[in-house]
Chains A and B, each alone.
Chain A
């Protein structure tokens, strides 16, 4: 019943033997020990489990691991280089764009995908792209400011 899949996770080639029912979120958390992405609503609404698959944000709670066979997956652990944070991470720190941090990896990865697509987004574009990420601490203003700040840099 198990399938062997190979995928790139944060730039590293990985293979895994998985049951088809395993979600991508469980694969990265349980098999690869990358626990930055969190399980929230479990129905693709909240964004806490967001990962980038081939550069695009998806809900890892609802993507099958077997479906990620051959894909390039980026988790929050893959954003910083050595000890240098990604600009979006820096901005989240600078603007205080988090409190409990549960939603943060999802927000940062989604923001990265937006900035890769649209390097200088308008506030409306930021709001539209991130409309499906929920922060129950209510840091939305700071989050938008942080992303705007990164997007305004040359």
Chain B
């Protein structure tokens, strides 16, 4: 690893100022789970790392009447074990149980996970399916964008060089909503996912027709994608096994997987189809109960 300067701001404003000073030669350092690997491999050689772990405002999970707010420094393990998250969005706790391994979950943060733009990950699909937003602070103030708009390409986000993710906000689900996240690892359980699918359904209040559907596919393209055609197929009717199968088929054509050590592109498309069907059935069951 090449040497670098290690800076430790104590406020978001100070961190943004340091980023601005250093241009694209500095990088925000939170858990370090992703960054230290890139640096050891020489893929990234920053002049400075800006450790943000001393910034208290970036910590903690809170909940208002309207939304759950997850600070950028919240670790995977905190999310996995939070009673508040388990109460509001148990799907996040369940998904986190399978993220990497216990050590990475203790080190890695939610903000870092998103900012890395890593395509083989889990949280972003779930956040997008829940219409989550991400709050970003830069030298000129704050902006809030849908999580979807954070991702531009492989390892590329819409964050400017001098901006920091400060929190993720997830609106509480309306009644009669259900979500399921399914991931598939083709080698070991602690491997990155080969495919990760989130399906979230909200039903009309008086009957069991699907009013709103989100089908989000991860790991099968440069960024997580919404399978719009699959969403259309599910919307406006009760779920049947046929419509779930059809949505799965549509979704498998709405992604762009690459062939790699985790499976061929065709194989991953087939997995997408199956996971969308299974997740839709589960999400519907949950929506009926809520």
Contact = CB atoms under 8 A, between A and B. Distances in A.
A20 interface: yes
A50 B103 contact: yes
B139 to A, nearest CB: 25
Contact of A132 (B6, B37, B39, B102): B102
A64 B7 CA distance: 13
A59 B106 CA distance: 10
Given A44-B37, A62-B37, A129 B100 contact: no
A43 interface: yes
Interface in B103-156: 103-104, 106-107
Interface residues of B, number: 27
Interface string B55-88: 0000000000000000000000100000000000
Interface of B: 1-6, 29, 32-33, 36-37, 39-40, 49, 51, 53, 77, 97, 100-104, 106-107, 189-190
Interface of A: 1, 3, 19-21, 23, 42-45, 47, 50, 56-59, 62-64, 66-67, 110, 113, 128-133
24 contacts: A19-B3, A20-B4, A21-B1, A21-B2, A42-B40, A44-B33, A44-B101, A50-B103, A57-B103, A58-B106, A59-B104, A59-B107, A62-B33, A62-B36, A62-B37, A63-B32, A63-B107, A64-B6, A67-B29, A110-B102, A129-B102, A131-B101, A131-B102, A132-B101
